[in-house]
């Protein structure tokens, strides 16, 4: 992370005191926006319009098998909680979490917080059984390399459904 910050002109500072905790400060170079107020208002208006158009859209966060008590599962549950809160609270999407998706609802996008080709096939099979178009599926990859590798995988690029991958925020 330090190298990435330095590459973009940023800095990281870490201070730690025993029994008091650790403070981490990130300094990022941010350019002041230039332009008249009208162009900024137009950009903000376009963003508000785009966000408003998402209101009520149906999204399913497909978690696959039920979680266990492992640290990974606990971390994933926290990640999915934040994702759910952001999608519903900020973007006003109609979000539900499911360990199974039967295809009979009007979900428009299925988000898989972990990459699983079994989950992708289950989503495609459920849509076919429900005699409906498969919703767009979004995989959340750990990093750019995983996302790019996934984009070139034949199981993803088939014409059965739209699949996109993005990296974790």
Angstrom CA distances, 131 to 26, 31, 106, 136, stand at 50, 51, 12, 15
Q: What is the pTM of this model?
A: 0.68
Three-class SS of residue 38? Answer: helix
DSSP H or E stretch at residue 7? helix 2-7
Task: Let me know if residue 36 belongs to a domain.
Answer: no
Task: Let me know if residue 131 belongs to a domain.
Answer: yes
Task: Let me know if residue 136 belongs to a domain.
Answer: yes
Digit-coded pLDDT (tens) for 48-89:
888 888 899 999 999 876 656 788 888 888 889 999 999 999
- Containing structural domain, residue 65: 56-167
Task: Let me know if residue 25 belongs to a domain.
Answer: no
Digit-coded pLDDT (tens) for 123-143:
999 999 999 999 999 999 888
Distance CA 93, CA 17 (A): 42
CATH number at residue 85: 3.40.50
Instruction: Enumerate the H helices of 113-166 as residue ranges.
Output: 117-129, 144-151, 154-157
């Amino acid at each position: 992370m330090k190298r990435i910050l330095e590459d973009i002109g940023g800095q990281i500072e870490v201070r730690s005191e025993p029994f008091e905790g650790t403070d981490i400060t990130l300094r990022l170079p941010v350019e002041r926006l230039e332009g008249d107020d009208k162009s900024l208002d137009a950009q903000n208006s376009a963003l508000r319009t785009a966000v408003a158009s998402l209101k009520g859209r149906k999204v399913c966060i497909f978690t696959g098998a039920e979680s266990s008590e492992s640290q990974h599962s606990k971390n994933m549950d926290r990640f999915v909680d934040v994702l759910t809160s952001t999608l519903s609270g900020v973007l006003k999407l109609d979000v539900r979490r499911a360990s199974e998706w039967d295809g009979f609802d009007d979900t428009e996008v299925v988000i898989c917080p972990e990459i699983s080709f079994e989950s992708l096939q289950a989503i495609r099979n459920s849509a076919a059984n429900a005699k409906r178009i498969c919703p767009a599926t979004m995989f959340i990859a750990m990093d750019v390399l995983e996302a790019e590798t996934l984009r070139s995988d034949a199981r993803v690029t088939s014409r059965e459904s739209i699949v996109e991958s993005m990296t974790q925020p």
